Amino acid sequence: MGWETSDTSVFEELSKKYVHLNPIRILAEGDSWFTYPRQFLFAGRDANIIDHLAGQDNLLILNTASGGDEILDMISGEQKFSLLKRLNHIDFDLVLLSGGGNDVVGRYDFGFLLHEKTPEMEWRECINTTRLFIKIRQVELAFREMVERILAIRPRVRIVMHTYDFPIPSSKGFELFDMIPLGKSWMYPYFIQKKIKDPDEQRKIVRNMLLRLKSTLQKIEKDYPENVVVVNTQGLLQDRHWLNEIHPTSQGFGIIAQKIYFEGIIGRKA
């Protein structure tokens, strides 16, 4: 059984206790794909990528991710200071990142990236390409700074990222215990606000945006071939693998985690 904690001191104790097993020491920084809660908060099936990875015998994970975070949050202010402090203090083998999703399809930016639809417009014209270009470029620069800061401290560390998958716009947001609605969904309200009501067009717009994010991450991987691995997780999930609008089910997260484990952490094809 692997180990996961969000407490640095506990992580250090586990590192010393299990040093003879030579675990892969991972710092996980990211968003809700690393922290989505179990159905009953502390009980229930594995509910995010890190939950699933922690089941691997050879991994020791310090998980500092926070739901709702954008990549810009992770590389600014107190969070940047904490990240650099941990990297200076602990000799990690690998840094696992989950970022960019909230920057593009999160509820604080998604509406900003859409034009209001008129009858003669095609779905591509509903994307505000000027604003999307700026946003994607902003994400790229934040990731590049993250990579540079990590490598300045740990020049031989492996940095692993993923590309999410293509979520299905719907009115289903977060539900406490997977039963009690606690707010609106992330994208769908903006689609309705912008008069983009066709489900097929909604899905095409989201797919287009996330393909651009993937392309950006792959550019960074190409520029840092010795350190950065971008695991392409797009196209893995089917409709039944989505719990709500932007979060997979336990099974869906498990599928994503398996590919990250084999291609990103272990470094071989599943």
Indicate whether 43 pLDDT > 80: no
Per the structure, the complete domain to which residue 55 belongs is given by: 3-266
CA triple 202-205-207, angle to 5 deg: 110
How much of the chain exceeds pLDDT 90, in percent? 87
Q: Which CATH number does the domain housing residue 236 bear? A: 3.40.50.1110
Indicate whether 7 pLDDT > 90: yes
More confident residue, 230 or 2: 230
For residue 174, the model assigns a pLDDT of 67
CA distance 79 to 87: 12
For residue 39, the model assigns a pLDDT of 72
pLDDT tens for 55-88 read 999 999 999 999 999 999 999 999 999 999 999 9
For residue 258, the model assigns a pLDDT of 97
CA distance 50 to 48: 6
For residue 180, the model assigns a pLDDT of 52
DSSP letters for 239-268: GGGBSSSS-B-HHHHHHHHHHIIIIIII-S
Confidence of residue 253 (pLDDT cuts 50, 70, 90): very high
pLDDT tens for 85-128 read 999 999 999 999 999 999 999 888 899 999 999 999 999 999 99
Domains in the chain, number: 1
Burial string for 74-85 (b: 16+ CB within 10 Å, else e) reads: bbeeebeeebee
pLDDT tens for 177-219 read 565 556 789 999 999 999 999 999 999 999 999 999 999 999 9
For residue 41, the model assigns a pLDDT of 64
Residues 234-257, mean pLDDT to the nearest whole number: 97
pLDDT tens for 11-21 read 999 999 999 99
State the average pLDDT for the chain: 93
pTM: 0.94
More confident residue, 26 or 176: 26
Handedness of CA 171, 175, 180, 181 (dihedral sign): negative
Helix 199-223 with 129-153: angle, nearest 10 deg: 30
Burial string for 210-238 (b: 16+ CB within 10 Å, else e) reads: bebbbebbeebbeeeeebbbbbebbebbe
CA distance 65 to 29: 4
Indicate whether 269 pLDDT > 90: no
For residue 63, the model assigns a pLDDT of 97
For residue 146, the model assigns a pLDDT of 97
Confidence of residue 270 (pLDDT cuts 50, 70, 90): very low
